[in-house]
Structure 1
Amino acid sequence: MVKRISVFLVIVLVLSTLTVLGTMYFKDINPYHTIKAFKEGQTNIVLDDTPINTYSSPIIVDNKILMPVNIIKKYICSDIELSEKYDRVYINISSPKFNLETEELDNRIKQGINLNFLAEKINGEYYLNIKGLEQILGIKVNYIQDTDILVIDKWKDTERIGVLQDNVRLRPKKTIFSFSLDKLSKGEEVLILEKDGEWLKVRTNKGFIGYISSKKVDIQIRKYNIKTQINQVREDWKEPDKINLVWDYVYKYSPDLSKQETIEGLDIISPTWFSIVSENGYVVNNGDINYVQEAHEKGYKVWALIDNGFDRDLTKQILASEEAQKNIINQILVYSSIYDLDGINIDFENVYYEDKDRLTKFVAKITDALKKQNLIVSIDMTVPSLSKNWSMFYDREKLGQIVDYCMVMTYDEHWASSPKSGSVASIGWVERGIEKTLKYIPNEKLLMGIPFYTRIWEETMVNGKVKVKSKALSMKTVQEMIEEKDLDITWLEDIGQYYTEFNEEGKKYRIWIEDENSIKLKAELANKYNLAGVASWRKGFEKEDVWVALNNVIKNSKELMGQREE
């Protein structure tokens, strides 16, 4: 009897043990509870074969992949430096592994390139949007939304892939008695990270890393052509009958175009992204890949602007240095590729007259390089005048032959520090500026500048003389001021604008108003002189009615010209 009980107990014990082992064998557990680097409620990182343990996780939002800068530096690119003062990261690439559009352009940067990108400070941590920078950093990025895992692979041209011949379980350890992390189905593919006897360390399509038995896995070697080329040569520009361009002033971070309505009739948007800041030709970059993608979705082309900081002494140093000019051009070539730009707008102002020829040669150099990407190149210039360092340094005739388009800035008739109050752009002054410019530049290459801003002039009597100062205002602000103060406005036929004035605290305030009426008159000049189109400064200062006026005049130019001929 005792013997039977003993046997029974042994059987029970064995069955219990098998039940426990079976439960362990088949039980699925949460990978986030097993993989120490993983944390629930945040985006986790897997770099090649390793889950990265970090206190600050990536942020995936609005088509951006914001990666903590410290993680990039530690695991991906050690040649990255963060400047908290300027919210910017600097990457010094001594031997680029990425490629530009052509072999000729690759040869330009093979000795190295220094780049910089804006970082965002979020909750005390600096992040860099790595979307669009994969080739620069030498990585492949895959965000798996279902598991909230960001998989980053460094470039490699071959991988071992396992194709499952049966259903298997992914385990955290190399034993069948380990818990099950996940169920994998027949036909599913896994990335094989290493082989250890009968066990394979793998990464699944969900981003999980663990072990599977090698018995029912078909191992294949796959070769890849690493995509090192950032971009392709652009398709030929299809010029509209009349170009409608607007400059978008970007001080630092670009606006989110996805939250803005598409502007009917707008062809080109020109963000002020690039500025030369040092004598060696270093270019501050405020580019944003999401901005370009959203612009393209809205049907806009993007011609990013590069300026000289309006510093004539710095410009002199740059134009005297072949190396500085080479640095500028090479940086713009790389940024044009990264951001998928359609064109570059050159905005060099306040240049010594003696540097006139050197500026022309530089414009020829950068245009020649950008044409290898098939980008459109344009340049901004003032209305012709006798001011040597503000106007005469432009060799308009030669520049007009080099670039695709010239924008004549037919505004600031009365500039910010003008000693006399007056219109920003009276219709007669604008027309005379066009006529003067057409002596040097063909009409089919000329875009007329249009102001979206208005100046309010403050006049004060000081010792019997009128002292003047001004402030630029948006159209909306002026309209609100008129309504708030219940001001009367008067149309000035010779000026082509409404005018108002008022007195306050012993001072006289005068406003020559830019609105849809004055803009319509100016736009009609582009049709009268059959210009390439218009370029407006700047986006955000206009009222919605202005776009309607521009669209009606510019985009219906053929119909309007036909009516005049009849």
Structure 2
Amino acid sequence: MIKKHMPVFVVCLLIVLVSLIGGAVYGINKLIPTSKQMDLTEYYGHNADGEAALILGTQKLEQKALFSGNDVYLPLDVVSGYLNQRYYWDSENKKILYATPTSLTEEAASEQADGNVWLKDDTVYLKLDYVKKYTDIDSYIYEDPARVAIQYKFSNIQTVTVKKDTVIRYRGGIKSEILTKIPKDTVLRLLDEGEDWDQVATDDGYIGYIQKKKVSSADTTNYERDFKAEAYSYLTMDEPVNMVWHQVTSTDANSYFADAVQNMTGVNVISPTWFSVSDNDGNVSSLASGEYVMQAHEKGLKVWGLVDNFSENMSTTTVLSKTSSRQNLENHLVTYALKSGLDGINIDFESLSEDVGIHFLQFLRELSIQCHENNLVLSVDNPVPEDFTSHYDRTEQGKVVDYVIIMGYDEHYVGSDAGSVASLPWVEQGVKDTLAEVPAKRTILAIPFYTRLWKTTDGGALTSEAIGMDQAQQVISENGAETYWDKTTSQNYGTYEGDGATYQIWLEDAQSVAEKVKLISKYELAGVAEWKLGFENSGIWSVITENLS
């Protein structure tokens, strides 16, 4: 019986041994890193003839670079979106315009890859060397597969340093394919920290994973750079700016300058609303008066002429997107400014659509060059920052113009719910948000001399009218309205009944203006502006002066 069972026992033993050996081999294989190299064509994607994969910083892009002989060309939208937004495509003349702080340069496009600008299949490409002329970047160019890696961020970069020779893998895990070998002491850009694997990027275009134990802890690196960009200089005042806008609607109104400023004190800049873009060719209607400027100068006032885009006979997008119209506008403004003896130009282009954003910025760049050549201060008015005004790009404005002015009013407006024109928390938040983009020393806060009288009928219809300080006090007095200090808005609030309606008013007065002007010193701003001359009461000037200093 024993002999009959022996073969069965041996077979079972062999099965067990084979299973144990198989399990051991499987377990050992799980612990052995794969040495398989990833197919880089698969990693970077397939390229058509003449194309190259494009890696910007720590991301692979869908867009492709182009090779032509030894030259590399980058798509304009990639350059503008990631590297340098100042390369402006002049579609009218088929050329690239580039505004430096002191000059406007241009490069004509060619349908052949024989220059700095290549127009291929209606897409604009810039030669890499041309981009490097004005942009601080490092580039890494490889073949097989064709690829171009560009690094453009060099400050406050999270990095790790390789502690010993190792590899970067496509995914986290030792069984993931190898992208590239990495020698000891290589500094890698850290994208994400994991428990056992860190996601990293090399300067030359590999983005993958490395074992955490093979690298140092995260550090912040600032790379030393030799690139020297031409810096902007600014025409600014040594004392705090105290500017008032003077709404001038006719040439005859200029003759009332002396009466308008008779009781005005503490102001050092006046901005008459003299200019308006009149048509789509960039022509300008002007109410400018040299006599007005001379009188202002005699009173120690600088004069910054305002230009608006309010005419129904023009489209801001049409004017600014067409180079001939845009530059015609610039030339007119500077000519009028010099002819009348102005000290500066104030740009008040409102309700800008998103599609005009890049053209508006180019307008400011080009106008800045001419203004500074002629010693003219350039300022630009901006609404309080909101998500829907990001295309105003206050960061770029702040680099180009002398002063950025925050229009700290119209929190509530015709068509909105009833409320304050400029509550203190709303204005202060606008200051904070602007200072995230613009240097405080060249930021001016504009405050209102007006408020709105809101009327709600018994039927629920809501209307409002803008009224000045004296008229607002008259309304309160004549209607026996009681007012109280509203801590949420930092304004005196009043309400009353009459004519089958409820009236509400959030007052702009000495108290509310003082609180707003205190923001100038609190945030070390360049100064204050007021809309508009004629809406104030006589005592408000001393309130501004006292709180501005």
With the shorter chain as reference, the TM-score category is 0.5 to 0.7
Aligned equivalent of 2:452, options 448, 451, 455: 455
Per-residue CA deviation, residues 357-400 of structure 1 (Å, 9 max, x unaligned), is: 1110111111111111110000000111122xxx2331110010
TM-score by length of 2: 0.55
Conserved in 2, the CA contact under 8 Å of 1:311 and 1:350? no
CA distance in 2, matches of 1:334, 1:377: 14
* Equivalent residue number for residue 509 of structure 1: 503
Conserved in 2, the CA contact under 8 Å of 1:245 and 1:536? yes
Aligned equivalent of 1:446, options 439, 443, 448: 443
Aligned equivalent of 2:517, options 505, 516, 523: 523
Conserved in 1, the CA contact under 8 Å of 2:406 and 2:445? yes
Per-residue CA deviation, residues 304-351 of structure 1 (Å, 9 max, x unaligned), is: 001111769701111221111121111112111111000000111112
Per-residue CA deviation, residues 396-435 of structure 1 (Å, 9 max, x unaligned), is: 10010000000011111001221x1000000111111111
CA distance in 2, matches of 1:437, 1:461: 40
Paired residue secondary structure (2:387): coil
Conserved in 2, the CA contact under 8 Å of 1:262 and 1:298? no
Aligned equivalent of 1:545, options 539, 546, 549: 539
Aligned equivalent of 2:391, options 385, 390, 393: 393
* Equivalent residue number for residue 479 of structure 1: 473
CA distance in 2, matches of 1:440, 1:310: 30
Percent sequence identity over aligned pairs:
35
* Equivalent residue number for residue 284 of structure 2: 283
Q: Cα 1:265–1:427, aligned 2, differ >3 Å: closer, same or farther?
A: same
Per-residue CA deviation, residues 32-55 of structure 1 (Å, 9 max, x unaligned), is: xxxxxxxxxxxxxxxxxxxxxxxx
CA distance in 2, matches of 1:403, 1:441: 10
Per-residue CA deviation, residues 431-462 of structure 1 (Å, 9 max, x unaligned), is: 11111111100100100110000100011243
CA distance in 2, matches of 1:300, 1:451: 20
Conserved in 2, the CA contact under 8 Å of 1:312 and 1:352? no
Deviation of residue 475 (structure 1)? Answer: 0.5
Aligned residues: 315
1:370-385 to structure 2, matched below 5 A, reads: 370-385=371-386
Aligned equivalent of 2:415, options 393, 414, 417: 417
* Equivalent residue number for residue 402 of structure 2: 404
CA distance in 2, matches of 1:467, 1:400: 42
Conserved in 1, the CA contact under 8 Å of 2:293 and 2:340? yes
1:154-193 to structure 2, matched below 5 A, reads: none
CA distance in 2, matches of 1:281, 1:250: 21
Deviation of residue 513 (structure 1)? Answer: 0.5
Aligned-residue Cα RMSD (Å) equals 1.9
Conserved in 2, the CA contact under 8 Å of 1:268 and 1:300? yes
Q: Cα 1:455–1:415, aligned 2, differ >3 Å: closer, same or farther?
A: same
CA distance in 2, matches of 1:276, 1:533: 28
Which ranges of structure 1 fall in alignment gaps of 5 or more residues? 1-103, 106-235, 557-566
1:170-249 to structure 2, matched below 5 A, reads: 239-249=237-247
* Equivalent residue number for residue 362 of structure 1: 363
* Equivalent residue number for residue 326 of structure 2: 325
CA distance in 1, matches of 2:465, 2:264: 27
Deviation of residue 493 (structure 1)? Answer: 1.6
Deviation of residue 477 (structure 1)? Answer: 0.6
Conserved in 1, the CA contact under 8 Å of 2:307 and 2:348? yes
CA distance in 2, matches of 1:310, 1:407: 22
Paired residue secondary structure (2:271): strand
* Equivalent residue number for residue 257 of structure 1: 257
TM-score by length of 1: 0.54
Conserved in 1, the CA contact under 8 Å of 2:449 and 2:508? yes
Which ranges of structure 2 fall in alignment gaps of 5 or more residues? 1-101, 104-233
CA distance in 2, matches of 1:440, 1:306: 24
Conserved in 2, the CA contact under 8 Å of 1:310 and 1:350? no
Greater shift after overlay, 286-295 or 520-529? 286-295
Paired residue secondary structure (1:304): strand
Paired residue secondary structure (1:291): helix
Paired residue secondary structure (1:478): helix
Residue identity opposite 1:247 in structure 2: W
